[in-house]
Chains A and B, each alone.
Chain A
Amino acid sequence: MTENEEKESLSLPASTAAPLFFAFGLVLLLASLVTNVIFAYVGAVIAVLGAHGWWREMLPREHIEPVPVQPLSERAPEITPQPASVEHLVVGEDGHRVRLPLEYHPYATGLRAGIAGGIAMAVVGGIHGLVAAGSVWAAFNGFASIVMPLFGASPPPDMLSFHPGIMVAALGVHIALSLLIGIVYSSVLPMLPGHPRLWGGIVAPIVWTAAGWAAVGLVTPDGAGAVSWGWFIASQIAFGLVAGEVVSRSTPVRTLQSYTLSGRAGLEATPAQGHPEDHS
């Protein structure tokens, strides 16, 4: 910044009230619709004056104004290297409250886990349909009811046969939700102690089922009866086991965008710079 110190002023666009007048004129013009036509005349005149003023700010030459530079005393001091240097946390350091994620799974793993889990879940769904209703399609038709009315629709659709439209809807919802949950799993499972398959395959299904059961029961008391919760859990477990498997098999990345490990994994933490009211 030294080369500029002898400059006394800098040129900036000059202040002008022309845009204000232009805006005010336009507003009066429009407001005449709900007031009186006189507003339109006055507004038109003000708008033209404002537009003209604005025009003159730009042409023939832009109107600029010299702005005096700040006296040295008011300027921000140049930034100097901080005495407190970067503190690299050592993994497993005594007394540190965190377990540091040294590596993590890229979001692509989550997407893959979602797809694989989604397929496993669909297989279980199909088996459920076969066993319970004698048709593979029963579960898919049931699933589509998340986005379309099937129970209580009139005429009631035949829940046991294949309907291309319903299938597309079921697939769309299934893919969207599987991808979302896949990403959730790939981000969360590696952070939990123990094995991803345990959390994804046992704990999460129970939690989801409880939440789903409570919500469906509240919103549509009849709907809760229509869901076979045992199979619901089974399909969740299938999803969780497979997604957990994919997550645990994927190689976690140590770096993204060729960033160093320490930076990426969050290993660098600067000490706070000693402000008076700093608690840290």
Chain B
Amino acid sequence: MSIPLHIRINENSYNLQVEEDETLISLLRDRLHLTGVKEGCGNGECGACAVIADGQPVRSCIILAAEMEGKSITTIEGLTETDENGNVSLSPIQKSFIEEGAVQCGFCTPGFIIAAEALFMRNSDPGDEAVKEALSGHLCRCTGYKSIFKAIDKTVKNRYKT
């Protein structure tokens, strides 16, 4: 049975019909082709599929699309800004990830960046503990995490300065 769903994704409104058992990741990736949302496990264990729903980080692989009625979703694709000339600017956290070498294979990266962004929405000056908490359950097999922590620290410091 399909269910009507009104949802905002990266600032665009959609009126969709979804299946009862359709996961949010499947809606985003398979139907809307937002493939920046990554599937590492499909089971809530790795964090690669994280998106922001009304300011909260959620794992799109273990949440049903139908539960998102009326919500506003941000995926990794929604973090950049494009001006009227088509110039793309990265968000501060995306920039820091590049500068600090926090990106290796990049498969976990959208999830980590989303987690950090969601944290900044709640807390503009998070301490080490809050950062650890926000990243818990996110797995990266490439970096050893140090550079990821550095990238987040740097973003916090830059924000604080400006």
Is this pair of chains taken from one and the same complex? no
